[in-house]
Structure 1
Amino acid sequence: MGHQRLDLLFVGRSQCTFTAKGVNAILNNCGSLEELSVKRLRGLTDETIFDLIGPGVVGDSLRTIFLKELYNGPSYSPLIISSKNLRTLRLMKCSGDWDRMLQTITERVPGMVGIHLERIRVSNLGLNAIFSCPSLEIFLVKMPYCTNLGLASVAEHCRLLRKLSIDGCRANSTGDKGLLSVATYCHNLQELVLVRVNATSLSLGSIASNCPNLMRLALCGAKTAGDAEIACIAAKCTALKKLCIRSCLITDQGVEAVASGCPCNAAKLIAIC
């Protein structure tokens, strides 16, 4: 590339042999770059694992960063915290301790509207850092360390949430307490996906009452969800257009409750029990 500037808007790299030097070459020469996707780079070895990435000349232009299956995920921190106009951050299966990283990232880049965390090392300490992003509208998390405390912190401080997806990864550490905070603070919620979350009619009823714009709801693998919870959803979710139920303890009675009680004729039921 030399010193030639490129006007690329998107760069995606997957399963190639780029080293840190190669990634930095892109960041140093693509001043218009808006979206960066880096997945499964094979050129990073133990000798280069601590080489830092970025920010180069993309600090003002980057809007989306997607990192997946990287052995040295935290080495991208200079790039992330320098992207002051970053809107969306997606971190999936990247090694390293991300708690402290998320604290720094959210302090330096508080304007993010979308965050996706999947199978990375994050505890309540990292989740609590999300409250520094009051403009957050989309929050997707899939990891066993998401607890009621962490979810409540996000809900209380990120009240503009429109889309929330929680996958507890079989940990069963999230339930009514965290969801009641969502019902209390996140009145703009339009889509809610709960996987392996122990929700009951208490929290689901509160969400239905306080989130009048809820149009899409998915309830999967919930050991506490039965006919009573489904009937509650059918009776109270007046704007519901799509309802997905998988691996929950419902019977024909629960399905009939949806068919007869859902106020919105456009609602669809996908039930795999």
Structure 2
Amino acid sequence: MAAVGENCKALKKLSCASCVFGIKGINAVVSRCQGLEELSVKRLHGAHDGKEVVGSGTTSVTFFCLKEINDTLEKIGNLHATLVDVHLEKIQVSDMGLVGLSKCLSLDTLHIVKTAECSNVGLNLIAENCRMLRKLHVDGWRTNRIGDDGLISVVKHCINLQELALIGIYLTSSSL
């Protein structure tokens, strides 16, 4: 994967699915492609020690999609403060991961899909810090962890919100 990065320095978009080279392989490419803007990683199967973060070698990424992988996002805001578009689907991310994402003050679009450990706490932090948010999609997977408190915070803080999709979220008349 390092050779791909060495020979494709002008790479703008990297999309990997069902690969066995793991996070180290992804990072070997992105650390050499400083103009990389879009990174989409789905179903990585390689070994992962929990210490490395996907995409830790670049600061130019503005679109980030993670699907069906286990990853730590606590450091993501420090590494990618310029992120504007993040899609998280079927990954083990908790409110601590959303704490990291809440450092991405330019965040425009966020998809939290089937991430069972996310709750109102994490969504509140996103809403309070990512005030540029225009698109928010939340699939709570009927876990009852995201509800009125999270939605009220989004409405209160994200005044630029134009698109809101809520699936499997338990709301009452107080938030609606």
- 2:108 equivalent among 122, 132, 137: 137
Task: Extract structure 1 runs of 4+ deviating beyond 2 A.
Answer: 48-53, 72-75
Q: Find the aligned partners of 1:152 and 1:123 in 2 and give their Cα distance.
A: 13
Q: Structure 2-normalised TM-score?
A: 0.89
Rg comparison, structure with higher value: 1
The answer to whether residue 169 in structure 2 is matched with residue 197 in structure 1 is: yes
Query: Is this contact kept in 1: 2:135–2:164, CA < 8 A?
Result: yes
- Equivalent residue number for residue 67 of structure 2: 92
Q: Displacement of 1:28 after TM fit?
A: 1.6
- Which whole-Å deviations, capped at 9, do the CAs of 1:139-158 have from their partners, x for residues lacking one? 00011112111110110000
Distance 2:61 2:81 in 1: 9
Is 1:180 the counterpart of 2:152? The answer is yes
Instruction: Give matches, 1:2-151, under 5 Å.
Output: 23-41=1-19, 44=20, 51-52=24-25, 53-54=27-28, 55-58=30-33, 60-72=34-46, 77=52, 80-94=55-69, 96=70, 98=71, 101-142=72-113, 143-151=115-123
SS at match of 2:174: helix
Structure 2 CA distance for partners of 1:197 and 1:141, relative to 1, 3 Å? same
Structure scoring higher RCO (CA < 8 A, sep ≥ 6) equals: 2
Stretches of structure 2 that go unaligned for 5 or more consecutive residues are none
Instruction: Call closer, same or farther: CA 1:107–1:74 in 2, change over 3 Å.
Output: farther
TM-score with structure 1 setting the length: 0.59
Q: Relative to total residues, which structure has the larger helix share, 1 or 2?
A: 1
Unaligned 5+ residue runs, structure 1? 1-22, 205-273
1:72 deviation in Å? Answer: 3.2
- CA positional deviation for 1:167: 0.5
Aligned-pair CA distance for 1:57: 2.2
Say whether the 8 Å CA contact 1:67–1:73 is kept in structure 2: no
- In 2: Cα distance, 1:50 partner to 1:91 partner: 12
Percent identical among aligned pairs is 33
